[in-house]
């Protein structure tokens, strides 16, 4: 059984930040998500950070005493510390130290399941470690260096050797990731050839993306093995999952779910996960899932939209899915222009959401009437399997189909159209 460490959190409010208290609460939840207990939160208001120790020198002494009194195992800062700040604080506080980036890296290390996610996390960790080799404490070692690196010892020769080994390892891992990326490019091209639209789930971490995916899989696939893991915690999903959703009218689309966003998502992680996140750029429609019951949902929308813009996905059609609305509103579902208020866990509003999706991505469908000769039953079978056959009539000349089908299928068989 994993021993639960006890952490003292430290947060600095520089120039009265707008979302400071939200950020502190998020740090608390990140700590819990890393299976650590929070003993207390030390807060300091500053006009500017201390270049040497981030917090003021008096605060350093105060935190040292507080950590000793509370018997803390480590100290976690709600900001990314520079290598020199980390070094100085480590020396002054005599306890393992994690900053926000290091904490998120730990969570990602624990959650990564697929080979690609594990490689991406490893690259991010090594990029984070590289400038922090001098004085790097066991707090970073706990993140687990798959490169088998040792940070003990001193002297320029040792540091240079470690640095070179890390750089070589990053190069090696990036080559592996490139191969996986190339495989995904091939899959993407095959998908485009088939003309199946892609709908991507995006949103803040723990907004309910995986729950929504599972609700759709449950209703339209009825296959337990295709469900993804869902947990009420930050970053429960790191791995990209793609599921084929086939509707009763034979229309189908691919639904993808990937890592959630968060404010101040570490640059090294964004860079490492970029190829995964850029799957969103290939989408025909983005469903931005929002936890409507979270009082900070507007900030979460800001962060998500900013991230989508950074990824170059801000021009893709988008629908806001205000999830968990059953905790706030009495009457559901509620539909507005490009938005739906619903509950994925209770499957309230699923049908209405599907109708919205259909209106956005199936513009390449056409309604027509086809008269198929009786000796071409293969064509009738094809339309029954691949289109929405509204009505079938049998007349002297052949089988009369009233169908809604893809334009490509219409063009292929338009010689049989009944005027």
pLDDT in tens, the chain (419 residues): 567 899 999 999 999 988 899 899 999 999 998 999 999 999 999 999 999 999 999 999 999 999 999 999 999 999 889 999 998 998 999 999 999 989 988 888 888 778 888 898 899 889 888 888 764 544 444 444 433 344 444 456 777 888 899 999 999 999 998 998 888 888 778 877 777 899 999 999 889 998 999 999 999 987 776 666 666 666 766 667 889 999 998 889 999 987 788 877 776 777 767 766 777 888 999 999 999 999 999 999 999 999 899 888 999 999 999 999 999 999 999 999 899 999 999 999 999 999 999 999 988 889 999 999 999 999 999 999 889 999 999 999 999 999 999 888 999 999 999 98
Which residues does residue 43 pair with via DSSP β-bridges, in sequence order? 11
Helix (H) or strand (E) holding 166: helix 156-194
Indicate the DSSP class of residue 273: T
Residue 271, phi then psi, degrees to nearest 5: -65, -45
Distance CA 267, CA 162 (A): 22
Q: Across-strand partners of 343?
A: 348
| CA separation for the pair 259, 328 (Å, rounded) | 26
Distance CA 256, CA 190 (A): 16
Rounded to two decimals, the pTM is: 0.78
Task: Give the integer Cα–Cα distance in Å for 149 and 143.
Answer: 12
Beta strand residue intervals within 69-173, DSSP E: 74-77, 97-98
Question: What does the block give as tokens for 405?
Answer: 């089908």
Q: Which whole-number Å values give the CA distances from 187 to 180, 191, 242, 283, in the listed order?
A: 11, 6, 11, 14
**Is the previous residue joined to 11 through a cis bond, with omega within 30 degrees of 0?**
no
Question: CB–CB of 121/177 below 8 Å?
Answer: no
* Contact criterion met (CB below 8 Å) for 135 and 85: no
Nearest 10 degrees: CA dihedral of 179, 184, 187, 188?
A: -130
pLDDT at position 373: 96
Q: Which helix (H) or strand (E) holds 116?
A: helix 115-129
What span, in angstroms and rounded, lies between the C-alpha atoms of 23 and 379?
A: 59
CA quadruple 201, 202, 203, 206: dihedral, nearest 10 = 50
Judging by beta carbons within 10 Å of its beta carbon (0-12, 13-18, 19+), is residue 171 exposed, middle or buried? Answer: exposed
Instruction: Provide the 3-class DSSP secondary structure of residue 235.
Output: coil
CB neighbours of residue 72 within 10 Å: 23
* pLDDT value of position 140: 42
User: Does residue 367 have a cis peptide bond before it, meaning omega lies within 30 degrees of 0?
Assistant: no
Tell which residue, 409, 411, 389, has the closest CA to residue 400.
Answer: 389
- DSSP category for residue 186: H
- Burial environment of residue 363 by CB neighbours within 10 A (0 to 12, 13 to 18, 19 or more): exposed
Domains, in order of start, for the chain:
5-98 (3.40.50.11060), 112-194 (no CATH), 196-361 (3.40.50.300), 365-416 (no CATH)
Percentages helix, strand, coil for the chain, rounded to the nearest 5?
45, 25, 30
């Amino acid at each position: 059984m994993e021993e639960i460490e006890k952490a003292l959190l430290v947060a600095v409010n520089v120039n009265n930040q707008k979302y400071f208290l939200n950020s502190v609460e998020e740090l608390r939840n990140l700590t819990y998500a890393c299976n650590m207990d929070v003993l207390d939160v030390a807060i300091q208001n500053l006009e500017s950070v201390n270049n040497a120790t981030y917090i003021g020198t008096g605060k350093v002494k105060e935190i040292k005493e507080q950590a000793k009194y509370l018997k803390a195992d480590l100290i976690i800062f709600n900001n990314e510390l520079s290598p020199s700040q980390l070094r100085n604080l480590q020396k002054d506080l005599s306890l393992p130290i994690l900053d926000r980036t290091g904490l998120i890296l730990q969570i990602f290390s624990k959650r990564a399941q697929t080979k690609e996610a594990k490689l991406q996390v490893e690259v991010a960790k090594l990029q984070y470690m590289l400038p922090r080799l001098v004085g790097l404490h066991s707090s970073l070692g706990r993140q687990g260096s798959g490169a088998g690196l040792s940070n003990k010892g001193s002297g320029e020769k040792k540091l240079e050797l470690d640095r070179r080994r890390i750089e070589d390892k990053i190069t090696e891992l990036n080559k592996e990731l490139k191969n996986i990326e190339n495989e995904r490019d091939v899959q993407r091209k095959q998908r485009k050839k088939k003309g199946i639209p892609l709908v991507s789930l995006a949103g803040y971490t723990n907004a309910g993306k995986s729950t929504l995916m599972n609700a759709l899989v449950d209703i339209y696939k009825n296959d337990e093995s295709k469900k993804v893991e869902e947990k009420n915690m930050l970053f429960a999903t790191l791995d990209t999952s793609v599921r084929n959703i086939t509707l009763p009218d034979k229309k189908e689309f691919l639904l993808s779910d990937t890592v959630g966003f968060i404010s101040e998502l570490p640059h090294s992680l964004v860079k490492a996960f970029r190829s995964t996140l850029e799957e969103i750029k290939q989408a025909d429609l983005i469903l931005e899932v929002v936890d409507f019951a979270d009082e900070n949902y507007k900030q979460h929308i800001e962060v998500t939209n900013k991230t989508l813009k950074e990824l170059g996905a801000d021009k893709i059609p988008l629908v806001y899915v205000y999830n968990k609305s059953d905790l706030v509103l009495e009457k559901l579902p509620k539909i507005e222009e490009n938005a739906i208020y619903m509950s994925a866990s209770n499957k309230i509003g699923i049908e209405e959401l599907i109708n919205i999706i259909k209106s956005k991505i199936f513009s390449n469908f056409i309604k027509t009437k086809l008269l198929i000769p009786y000796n071409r039953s293969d064509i009738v079978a094809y339309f029954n399997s691949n289109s929405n056959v509204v009505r079938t009539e049998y007349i002297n000349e052949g089988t009369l189909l009233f169908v809604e089908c893809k334009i490509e299928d219409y063009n292929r068989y338009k010689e049989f159209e009944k005027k």
